[in-house]
Amino acid sequence: MNNKNMIHNGFIMLSLFLLFIAATIAPASAEYTEVNSITRTLPDNIPTNNEISVVLEIDSQIPFVAGIVETIPEGFTFPDNKEDISTSCEFKLDRENRKISFCSINVTSITYKVIASSESGAHTFSGNWVDLLVQSTELDEGTERWEKVVGDKTIIREAKKTSSTSSSTSPSFSSNEKYENIAKKNVAQQYLSINNKAEYTFNDEANPITEISFMPLKNGGTISTTIEVLKDVSGLVEISPHGTVYKNMNIWISNDWASESTISETKIAFCVDKEWLNEYGIDSSSIKLMRYTSKWTELPTTITGEDENRVYFVAETPGFSPFAITSISEKSIDLEQTETKSTIEEPNIESDLVEEETVEPQEELPAKTPGFTAFLGCAMMAVGFMITKKMSIRR
C-alpha cells in the first residue's frame, strides 16, 4: 500500500473517530462535572543539576478533559529521552521554549521530570490549564477558560563541601541570601544517630529561634543547622507573608540532609518580645510561624509559656526553608485569599495540543459545542499518533 492510500485510510479512521465523539459527547455532557483546579507540587530545596519530578494534581470528578501547558524555569531542561519525561498521558514537547503540553482525559495525576538549573536560588514554574468541556452559564457560550496552575516556585541550593575528608563532617553551604539582608547568622552542630532525638539550641537574643528538634530516621553523623535572621523578607521568596511580621529568617539543615525519609516530628521553638506585642497591640494568640515553599503556609503553632519579657511558642514543620514569624488574624487571611482569586490572569498563549493547527484561547468557538474544537484537537493528536505508528510498522 502506497503512502497516499495509507494517508487516505488514516483520514477515514480519523473521520469515523470524530463522528463517534460527536455522537457521544452530547449525552455525556449531561453528567459532566467542571474541573475545579490543578495544583503543582515541587520538591523543596533541591540540589543544582538534579533530576526532579513535578506532579500536577487535577481536582475534578470523572469524566473530564483538560489541556495543560507548563513552562519550566530558564536554565532547567527536559531529559534527553522523551520516554523518561512522562508516562502519565500524551504530551507535546517544545524544548526551545521550555514548554510541555498535556491532554488529560480522566487522568487526575500527571508527573513529568526536569533537570534543575546549575544556578542556585529561587526558580519559578508557570502553567495554565483549560477545561476543554466547560459548560457554564456564567461564560459566553463556546468560550474556553484559561486558569493558572497553583504552586510555582522551588528553591535550588548548591552544597559546598568543606576541606575536611572525614565522612562524618557536615558540609557547609550558601543559601544565596544577600549579605546586606542578613542581620544575624547562627550555626549549631550535633551528631545524629537513628531514633535519638536531635535538639539544636540557640541563645542569641538577636535570634528569635530558641530550639530546633527532630527525630532522625537514620544515622547522619555530624549535621549542622544554620539560621539566618533577616532584616527584611527573604530574597528567595517572591511575595511577602501576610499579617504583621515580627521576624524573617532562613533555616537550613546542611547538605539538604533533612527530608521525609531522614527526619520526623520536626519542631521549631521561638519567642516574641512582649515589648513588640504591646507596641503594635497584638494578642499573643495570633502569632504564627509561616513557611515558604511555592507559597506561604501557616504552620501549627502553640504557646508554651511566657516570662517577664517574652512569650514562647513551638511550631511543627515538614521541612526547612524561608520562615516568618507573623501576627495573623482571620480578617487578613480572608483578604489574602480574596486578592489571590481576583488576580487570576487569562494567558495569551497558543495551545500546544494540536500538531498542525493552533487554537487561540480567546477565539470564539461554535456556540452549540463549548470546548468541542479543543477536545477534537486532543482526539486528533491521539489518532494521528496511532496512524503514524501504524505507518512506521508497515514500512
Predicted pLDDT at 118: 79
Predicted pLDDT at 371: 42
Is residue 209 very low, low, confident or very high in pLDDT (cuts 50, 70, 90)? very high
CB 249 within 8 A of CB 210: no
- Written as one string, the DSSP assignment of 326-352 is EE--HHHHHHHHHHHHHT---------
Strand, coil or helix: 68: strand
Q: Of 45-54, 96-105, 309-318, 345-354, which gets the smallest average pLDDT?
A: 345-354
Q: Is residue 359 part of a domain?
A: no
278 shares its domain with 171 = yes
Where do we find the cell 521525609? 260
Tens digits of residue pLDDT in 251-291: 988 766 777 778 899 999 999 999 999 999 999 999 999 99
Does a cis peptide bond (omega within 30 degrees of 0) precede residue 63?
A: yes
Tens digits of residue pLDDT in 21-71: 444 444 444 445 588 889 888 877 677 777 888 889 898 888 889 999 999
**Highest averaged pLDDT of the listed ranges 128-142, 198-212, 242-256, 351-365:** 198-212
User: What is the C-alpha to C-alpha distance for residues 74 and 70, in angstroms, rounded to an integer?
Assistant: 13
225 shares its domain with 86 = no
Closest CA to 220 of 252, 186, 253: 253
Q: Which amino acid is at 3?
A: N
Q: Is residue 208 part of a domain?
A: yes
CB 296 within 8 A of CB 239: yes
210 shares its domain with 301 = yes
207 shares its domain with 308 = yes
Predicted pLDDT at 352: 43
Tens digits of residue pLDDT in 351-377: 444 344 434 444 443 344 344 444 445
Q: Is residue 141 part of a domain?
A: yes
142 shares its domain with 174 = no
Q: What would the mean pLDDT of 110-116 be, rounded to a whole number?
A: 90
More confident of the two residues 392 and 304: 304
108 shares its domain with 248 = no
User: Would you tell me how many other CB atoms lie within 10 Å of the CB of residue 368?
Assistant: 9
User: What is the C-alpha to C-alpha distance for residues 335 and 145, in angstroms, rounded to an integer?
Assistant: 25
Q: How many domains does the chain have?
A: 2
Predicted pLDDT at 236: 87
The DSSP 8-state label assigned to residue 106 in this structure reads S
Q: What value, to the nearest 5°, has the Cα angle with vertex 138 and ends 134 and 143?
A: 45
25 shares its domain with 144 = yes
Q: Is residue 350 part of a domain?
A: no
Task: Examine the fold and report which residue of 306, 331, 356 is the final residue of a domain before the chain moves on.
Answer: 331
Q: Is residue 358 part of a domain?
A: no
77 shares its domain with 152 = yes
CB 294 within 8 A of CB 152: yes
Domain containing residue 242: 160-331
Q: Of 253-257, 288-292, 326-330, 391-395, which gets the smallest average pLDDT?
A: 391-395
152 shares its domain with 166 = no
Strand 153-157 versus strand 46-47 pairing type: parallel
Predicted pLDDT at 190: 83
Q: What would the mean pLDDT of 11-21 be, rounded to a whole number?
A: 47
The CATH number for 218's domain is 2.60.220
pLDDT of 128 > 80? The answer is: yes
Q: What would the mean pLDDT of 167-172 be, rounded to a whole number?
A: 38
Task: Examine the fold and report which residue of 331, 356, 374 is the final residue of a domain before the chain moves on.
Answer: 331
With left for phi above 0 and alpha for psi between -120 and 50, is residue 371 left, alpha or beta?
left
Closest CA to 251 of 273, 266, 272, 264: 266
More confident of the two residues 247 and 155: 247
Predicted pLDDT at 388: 46
198 shares its domain with 315 = yes
Q: Which amino acid is at 291?
A: R
More confident of the two residues 278 and 386: 278
Q: Is residue 17 part of a domain?
A: yes
pLDDT of 308 > 70? The answer is: yes
Q: Is residue 342 part of a domain?
A: no
148 shares its domain with 199 = no
176 shares its domain with 52 = no
pLDDT of 119 > 60? The answer is: yes
The CATH number for 75's domain is 2.60.40.680
CA 138 to chain centre: 29
Predicted pLDDT at 123: 82
Predicted pLDDT at 63: 86
